[in-house]
Amino acid sequence: MPKAETQKRSKQSSASNPNTASAGSAGTHVANGTSSADTAAAAARPQTQPQRDTGAIYKPKFSDSLSRVNNFSIIESTLREGEQFGNAFFTTQDKIRIAKALDDFGVEYIEITSPAASEQSRQDCITICNLGLKAKILTHVRCHMDDARIAVETGVDGLDVVIGTSSYLREFSHGKDMDYIIKQATEVIQFIKSKGLEVRFSSEDSFRSDLVDLLNLYKTVDRLGVDRVGIADTVGCANPRQVYELVKTLRNVVSCDIECHFHDDTGCAIANAYAALEAGATHIDTSVLGIGERNGITPLGGLCARMYVADKEYVMEKYDLPKLREVENLVAEIVQIQVPFNNYITGYCAFTHKAGIHAKAILNNPSTYEILRPDDFGMTRYVSIGHRLTGWNAVKNRVQQLDLRLSDDEVKEVTAQIKQLADLKPLGIEEVDTLLRVFHAKINTPLMD
């Protein structure tokens, strides 16, 4: 299918925290609010660049040649897994907006709901395929010829085929044994390949499936020529050690790529994705804000944060990181939820510093308390000062921004006043600024005879 030209990356400014104001060091804001006069004053002042971080940063040495932490692809499943989120209802226009936003961000694959699910799902599948996106369009189907026949006629680039392999699903879901599964998989895979389409074959509930059964199944489909085999932690029971061991074992059994899908029921989805890549997996399924069945899967933003730390340059080259906030806000609006305050990268407090010792260090060198650089994500750093934990260095920074002249001893004195008032209630930035200006005027008013 035709692909649109790659859009030029543009740095998107994050919307200011409504309780923030610009601070003295570049890219840093002091909370909790701003005014045009304050901003102008701050812009007029020379900005001191933070010191270069010369400290050694711990980075794991990936001696294992199987590791793919700097060579992986994202299969973005908001339009498939995300549609299974309890609060999700995507109209055709919603799907178009989400698909375009994900494509602008730079994901390699977009996975959409099976066209066999409903007539509207089939029509939407065709519509998304006709958008001319750069990302490959995949659809997720059962290991059944009826589903495959419908899907190959929609214009998708590939089919993600799945069937349950655990004893739970074999007994209580489809009721088939492993011999039937292998026979059915063979028929479906050969049919898809005859159409010249990409094909992934995945077991469902992989971590509760018999290992011998799994490996025999994967070896069979690998010989059939699938592009990827998939491992799915369908109930979120796996931990990183288990993931690493299974993926590494599988890596020694198949020659094709390995895709991994992790649910977050026990809070391990991001760590499991990282462990899978360390062990040789090549593709990770994500959804925006992690939405999906129950409490969802590996979140797109969380995976980007983890992989940014592993290989910043690689991740920044692949993905337009400042657009993450845009796509998260879009999906949050559509499914009628709020972006969590502690969300990876884009949360309300993700780059907010409050404690006095933190604020002092951040103003001198942001790397002291940040492993992610907010500018790389189109975000802004904030230093909060209107509270009882504030330190005089943070207050001094605000004093300088307001173009006031106070000695260090005077700054310490006014800081004590701020802390005393903040013991009663949090102070907004306008209140802090008023206090600073009144204190400054009092200090600088000549005594009358």
Residues marked active site are found at 358
Is residue 29 within 8 Å of residue 20, measured between CB atoms? yes
Q: Which residues contact 57 (CB under 8 A, 6 or more apart)?
A: none
Is residue 263 within 8 Å of residue 234, measured between CB atoms? yes
CA triple 381-357-376, angle to 5 deg: 20
Single out the residue of 48, 7, 5 nearest to residue 28, CA to CA.
Answer: 48
Query: For residue 98, what is the enclosing H or E element?
Result: helix 92-105
Is residue 157 within 8 Å of residue 197, measured between CB atoms? yes
Tokens of 124: 């939407």
For 107-157, list the strands marked E by DSSP.
109-112, 136-142
Query: For residue 169, what is the enclosing H or E element?
Result: helix 167-172
Residue pointed to by tokens 């209107």: 386
3-state secondary structure of 75: strand
Alpha-carbon gap, residue 230 to 134, rounded angstroms: 23
Is residue 254 within 8 Å of residue 219, measured between CB atoms? yes
Is residue 289 within 8 Å of residue 337, measured between CB atoms? yes
Tokens of 123: 């029509």
Task: Sheet with 28-31: list strands edge to edge.
Answer: 20-22, 28-31, 381-384, 352-353
CA distances from 50 to 26, 28, 361 (A): 8, 10, 10
Tokens of 310: 């592993």
Is residue 265 within 8 Å of residue 236, measured between CB atoms? yes
